[in-house]
Amino acid sequence: MAEPMKIRATLQGDIADVRILFLHPMETGTRKDSKGDIVPRHFIQNVAVTHNGKTVLDGQWSQAISRNPFLGLRVKGAKAGDKISVTWTDNKGDTRTDEVAVAAAL
Amino acid sequence: MPRKQNSITALAVVCLATWGAAPAMAQSGDPLAVGRQMLAEDNPGELWIERGKTLFHQKRGPQDASLEQCDFGLGPGKLEGATTRLPRYFPDTDRVQDLESRLLTCMVQLQGFNRDDIVKRAISPAGSNGSDVEALTLYITSRSNGMKMNVSLSHQKEYDMYKAGEYLFYRRSGQTDFACVQCHGGANKRIRLQDLIHMTDKKGVQEVVSTWPAYRGAHFVVRTMQWRLSDCFWQMRLPELTYASDVSIALTTYLHYQGNGAVIKVPGFKR
Amino acid sequence: MNKTWLKWAAVSTPALIALGCATYPDQATTRQVAEKMVSEDFTAPTPALLKRLVQDRSQQVCSKIGDAKLTQEEAAEVVKLARDSIRYPAAGKLVGDWKVGEKLALDGAGDRIQGGILEKRKENGGLCQNCHALAPGEINVGNVGPSLTGYGLQRGNSEAIAKLTYERIYNGWAYAPCSNMPRLGATGHLTPEQISHMVAYLIDPQSPVNTK
pLDDT tens digits, one per residue of B192-243: 989 999 999 999 999 999 999 999 999 999 999 999 999 999 999 999 999 9
A6-101 is a CATH 2.60.40.10 domain: yes
Residue B20 lies in a domain: no
As a whole number of angstroms, the distance between CA B193 and CA B46 comes to: 26
Catalytic residues of B: 232
- Pinpoint the alpha helices (H) of chain B: 3-21, 31-41, 46-57, 99-109, 115-122, 132-142, 156-169, 180-184, 202-210, 225-235, 246-258
Q: Which residue of A has its CA nearest to B48?
A: A23
* Other Cβ atoms closer than 10 A to C87: 12
Pairwise CB contact (< 8 Å): B10 & A64: yes
The per-residue pLDDT for A105 is 79
C43-210 is a CATH 1.10.760.10 domain: yes
Query: Total domain count for chain B?
Result: 1
Give the nearest partner residue to B240 out of C43, C62, C127, using CB atoms.
Answer: C43
Mean per-residue pLDDT, B163-172: 98
Which subunits sit against B, judged by 3+ Cβ pairs under 8 A?
Answer: A, C
The per-residue pLDDT for B3 is 43
Q: Which residues span the domain enclosing B175? A: 42-270
Residue B264 lies in a domain: yes
**pLDDT value at B157 more than 90:** yes
Share of chain B above pLDDT 90, in %: 82
Pairwise CB contact (< 8 Å): B44 & A18: no
Mean per-residue pLDDT, B105-122: 97
Please state whether the peptide bond connecting residue B239 to the residue before it is cis, i.e. omega within 30 degrees of 0: no
Please state whether the peptide bond connecting residue B267 to the residue before it is cis, i.e. omega within 30 degrees of 0: yes
- DSSP-derived letter for residue B163 is H
Of the CA atoms within 13 Å of residue B16, those in its CB half-sphere come to 22
The per-residue pLDDT for C7 is 56
Give the bridge partners for C42, in sequence order: B241
Q: Which amino acid appears at position C86 of this protein?
A: I
> Which residues contact residue C23 at a Cβ distance below 8 angstroms, ignoring those fewer than 6 apart?
B156, B159, C16
Mean per-residue pLDDT, C199-210: 97
Mean per-residue pLDDT, B121-143: 95
The per-residue pLDDT for C4 is 56
C72 or B32: which leads in pLDDT: C72
Q: What is the CATH number of the domain that holds B151?
A: 1.10.760.10
Mean per-residue pLDDT, C43-49: 96
Burial of C209 (0-12, 13-18, 19+ CB in 10 A): buried
C198 or B35: which leads in pLDDT: C198
The per-residue pLDDT for B4 is 42
Give the bridge partners for B243, in sequence order: none
Q: Note the pLDDT tens digit of each residue in C95-136.
A: 999 999 999 999 999 999 999 999 988 889 999 999 999 999
Distance of residue B7 Cα from the nearest chain A Cα, in angstroms: 8
Pairwise CB contact (< 8 Å): B176 & C40: no
Share of chain C above pLDDT 90, in %: 87
Pairwise CB contact (< 8 Å): A59 & B12: yes
Mean pLDDT rounded to a whole number for chain B: 90
* Cα B144–chain centre separation: 13
pLDDT tens series, chain A, 106 aa: 688 999 999 999 999 999 999 999 999 999 888 789 999 999 999 999 999 999 999 999 999 999 999 999 999 999 999 999 999 999 999 999 999 999 987 7
Which subunits sit against C, judged by 3+ Cβ pairs under 8 A?
Answer: B
Give the bridge partners for A96, in sequence order: A88
As a whole number of angstroms, the distance between CA C63 and CA B140 comes to: 36
Residue C147 pLDDT level (bands cut at 50, 70, 90): very high
Chain C residue numbers touching B193 (CB-CB < 8 A): 139-140
Domain residue spans of chain A: 6-101
Residue B141 pLDDT level (bands cut at 50, 70, 90): very high
Domain residue spans of chain C: 1-41, 43-210
Share of chain C above pLDDT 70, in %: 91
Residue B198 lies in a domain: yes
The helix (run of H) or strand (run of E) holding residue B95 is strand B95-97
Q: Which pTM was predicted?
A: 0.89
Q: Does C176 touch chain B (CB under 8 A)?
A: no
User: Are there at least 3 beta-carbon pairs closer than 8 Å between C and B?
Assistant: yes
Give the nearest partner residue to B20 out of A47, A61, A72, using CB atoms.
Answer: A72
The per-residue pLDDT for B23 is 40
The per-residue pLDDT for B120 is 96
Mean pLDDT rounded to a whole number for chain C: 92
Pairwise CB contact (< 8 Å): C63 & B193: no
Distance of residue B190 Cα from the nearest chain C Cα, in angstroms: 5
Give the nearest partner residue to A72 out of B7, B12, B17, using CB atoms.
Answer: B17
As a whole number of angstroms, the distance between CA B237 and CA B175 comes to: 7
- Between β-strands A54-60 and A44-51, what pairing exists: parallel, antiparallel or unpaired? antiparallel
B57 or B3: which leads in pLDDT: B57
Distance of residue B144 Cα from the nearest chain C Cα, in angstroms: 28
**pLDDT value at B18 more than 50:** no
Mean per-residue pLDDT, B241-253: 98
Give the nearest partner residue to C34 out of B164, B233, B240, using CB atoms.
Answer: B164
What DSSP letter does each residue of chain C carry, written as one string? --HHHHHHHHHHHHHHHHTT---PPPHHHHHHHHHHHHHHSEE-SSHHHHGGGS--HHHHHT---TTPPPPHHHHHHHHHHHHHH----TT------HHHHHHHHH---SS-EETTEE---SS----HHHH---STT--S---SS---TTHHHHH---HHHHHHHHHHHHHGGGTSTT-SS--TTTTTSS-HHHHHHHHHHHH-TTSGGG--
Residues of B at the A interface (Cβ-Cβ below 8 Å)? Answer: 1, 5-7, 9-10, 12-13, 16-21, 24, 41-44, 46-47, 50, 127, 220
Pairwise CB contact (< 8 Å): A21 & B50: no
